Amino acid sequence: MNAVSPICLSDLAPALRWSNPADVGPVLRHARLIDGWWRSIPLPRVLDIVGATWLAHTLAHLAADHFEHLELAEFLPSLRALTVDLDDIAEPVRGAVLGTAVTWDRLISASPATIATWPLPQGCGPIEVIGTVIGRAVHPFGRDTGRTPAPSPALVVEAVRTIANWMPASAPEHVHNALAYLTSATGADSADSVSDGADSEPVDPPQTPATRAIRTLRALRAQRDEEARQNAAGESRTPSVPPPAPATDAAGPGKSFRSSLLGPGRTLRRPSFNPPREFREDPTPVAPELGRHPLVDLLEGLFRSWSDIERTVAAERLFAADPISIRLLADQIQVDLGAIRNAQRTVEERLLQWLASPEGAPITNHLRDMSEQLGTATTIDHLISAHPDHPVDVPSLGTPLWRVVITLFTDRRLHNGWLVADDPHRLRWQTRELLGDAPSLTDAGLRLARIGIQQQSLRAWLLSTPGVSIRDGHVLVDPSTPMEAPTPTPSYSGGHTGVVPDGGSTTANGLPIRRRPGDQQPQSAAAASSPMPQDLPPQVAGSVRCFRAPDGRWWHRVDVTGDHLNGAPVTVPPGYATHLGLQPGRLLCLTAPGADLLVLVWRDQPAFDSLRPLLRRLSAQHGDRVFITVNGDRLDARRLPAADLSDHGPTSRALHLIGYTAPAPTDEALKIIARRISDDSDDPQADPQSLLDRLTQRGDTDIAAELRPVLMTAHG
């Protein structure tokens, strides 16, 4: 659910949208960015990769070399919305601008060609001036959160007061409203007159930044002293209720400093994205006009029946572009962590049940239609424009419908501004493979339709693929642009046969409950006669349906059945359980995607108590294959949807069973399978007969059955 601003550089600089990539590409090329990135990768992501300095300097060269006739405010229209004090610009550009343009408005109204004629001083050329201006337009899209230490609360208050001191009366109304919100939230409007102690007179020194900072620090110290006195007196308070302020005059001695931005321990709290109630025009949600947006009306009817905390969790965590952590959310709305977790589980369960019900069928059908319409890769803009309801806010959430749709998609994810239903690297690699003979744009569209690229996304997808360009109506692939072949990893999903336990305590699904080490527990005859404890522990490399990815992680394949979808236990091979650190008689708790809790327990045989929460989250169906892997206490899962492979060869069907969906010749397929079932990081010998014998010993008879006819024919 993590998403970033969909604004790309071509949105910030419209001239790029209509420019020939072959002309601007050499200037904008960067080793860590794909070709055509200015049309596909969101600006915050670009700045994360290359930094604002590189981007501003590069755009300055682009403006001077290719758009020298355009005014800077036409090249970057957002410059008109900025108010910049030229005194804030660093030397030597500041002196150069003050001696030529004089004002910011005249500066952004000049073209690069005009700036080149100005009498600029030595050491400050047109590129430096243009780059400084462009930097002001680029800077707001940077994301510096977490890269520098958070300032102390006193500095936050002082910063707000400094802004208030310097803000001109002519500033726009929305700027004044924002400052009023910050002033109220930080308490900067109520701590101007505080005293050194309870017996002293209020001190009102001159209004300077230093004295304001001193008074703020005194206020914080006064509150700490007051809390210490109350604790020493034995006063007790309920943790969830904030301590009352001292009963003194608002400006008098002993005033306590309070701020809604300060959390426990005087740490900074993440502020709410909404303004405080006193700055909202109407604190109650406005009922939508029924009938105009049926999908929004349908979801609004669902969310309005939820409690306030459930709607808050949905808006801030489930459907948010930048989900807030449970701990911060609990701190903001002043409820227990457990209440947030319970609310999230309730929200997810209700939503899943509703989507599976007749009432939610229109949304479910809409998601299915969108998947078919958008294809395997599409931009956010295409998603928003795909339906008239998508840009409309769901009133009770304050979130546009398209954000809800992205969250409800289970078969695709956001990647660099693209909503993709497959591994994006694999899709781009396949794109290059299909277009190696320089086809026409029409032929390219027909070929890429095989991998799900729709016509509306075709041009943008081509330009976002490394080494691909469009010239004179043909699609060209530059083989000198390096691109590694994809290293396939298993795709989302899991399951196998159930387990029948013997007597003793069991879970709701019939699996035995772990006992503490040293506890006495009954042992069945089968368990008593089992030779496993005396034998060497089973190895994951010899376990059925277990495959090692190129990164070294072992994945286990689960063939989903109807019983698994209904909550039946799902067994795993003992070798895989041992690989995870599980021992007979023990239990392992794992956190799955979405914070679902999954329990893996081993008595007669290791098995998951149930994978139903995971399978429902993945929208798994009977016949799907789910691959699971575990890192620490976290489980990752990928689903490989059921597909008709009757038109595929035996080798492709065998590769599909290990989660590898790319085509490969027989010899290469044997090497891939041999590597996936080996602990050796080096390429093992893929002798056909030895491979068949090993697959049979592991229990992978389905893979062996697919390979055997091919190998018998090829090798006599």
Q: Rounded to 5 degrees, what are φ and ψ at 362? A: -60, -40
Give the pLDDT of residue 317.
85
Closest CA to 129 of 109, 115, 117, 111: 115
Give the pLDDT of residue 511.
38
Q: For the beta carbon of residue 673, count every other beta carbon within 10 angstroms.
A: 26
What are 381's strand-pairing partners? none
532-536 long-range contacts, Cβ below 8 Å, gap at least 24?
A: 532/574, 532/584, 533/584
Give the pLDDT of residue 290.
61
Distance (Å, rounded) from C-alpha 65 to C-alpha 59?
10
pLDDT score of 390 more than 70: yes
Residue 702 tokens, joined: 């389905």
Q: Which is more confident, 89 or 275? A: 89
Q: Of the ranges 180-189, 555-564, 589-598, 652-661, which one carries the lowest mean pLDDT score? A: 180-189
Distance (Å, rounded) from C-alpha 108 to C-alpha 134?
9
* DSSP code of residue 18: G
Find the mean pLDDT for residues 194-217: 42
Distance (Å, rounded) from C-alpha 430 to C-alpha 27?
27
Find the mean pLDDT for residues 393-401: 90
Give the pLDDT of residue 259.
41
Distance (Å, rounded) from C-alpha 28 to C-alpha 45?
15
Residue 313 tokens, joined: 């969790």
Find the mean pLDDT for residues 127-154: 66
Give the pLDDT of residue 682.
59
Find the mean pLDDT for residues 513-530: 33
* DSSP code of residue 440: B
Sequence-separated (6 or more) residues with CB below 8 Å from residue 111: 68, 69, 70, 71, 72
pLDDT score of 5 more than 60: no
The predicted-structure confidence for 536-548, as pLDDT tens digits, reads as follows 678 898 999 999 9
Give the pLDDT of residue 184.
61
Distance (Å, rounded) from C-alpha 50 to C-alpha 46?
6
The amino acid present at 28, given as its one-letter code, is: L
The predicted-structure confidence for 37-49, as pLDDT tens digits, reads as follows 888 888 888 887 8
674-682 long-range contacts, Cβ below 8 Å, gap at least 24?
A: 675/548, 676/547, 676/548, 676/549, 677/541, 677/546, 677/547, 677/548, 678/541, 678/548, 679/539, 679/540, 679/541, 679/548, 681/552
Cα→Cα distances 656→139, 230, 238, 702, 703, Å:
47, 68, 58, 11, 9
Give the pLDDT of residue 189.
62
pLDDT score of 170 more than 70: yes
Q: What percent of the chain has pLDDT over 90?
A: 14
Give the pLDDT of residue 343.
87
Give the pLDDT of residue 150.
32
User: What number does CATH give the domain 553-640?
Assistant: 2.40.330.10
Give the pLDDT of residue 24.
87
Find the mean pLDDT for residues 463-477: 89
Distance (Å, rounded) from C-alpha 43 to C-alpha 62?
17
Closest CA to 67 of 125, 9, 130, 140: 130
pLDDT band at 643 (very low <50, low <70, confident <90, very high): confident
The distance from CA 679 to its chain's CA centroid, rounded to whole angstroms, is: 32
pLDDT band at 157 (very low <50, low <70, confident <90, very high): low
Give the pLDDT of residue 257.
37
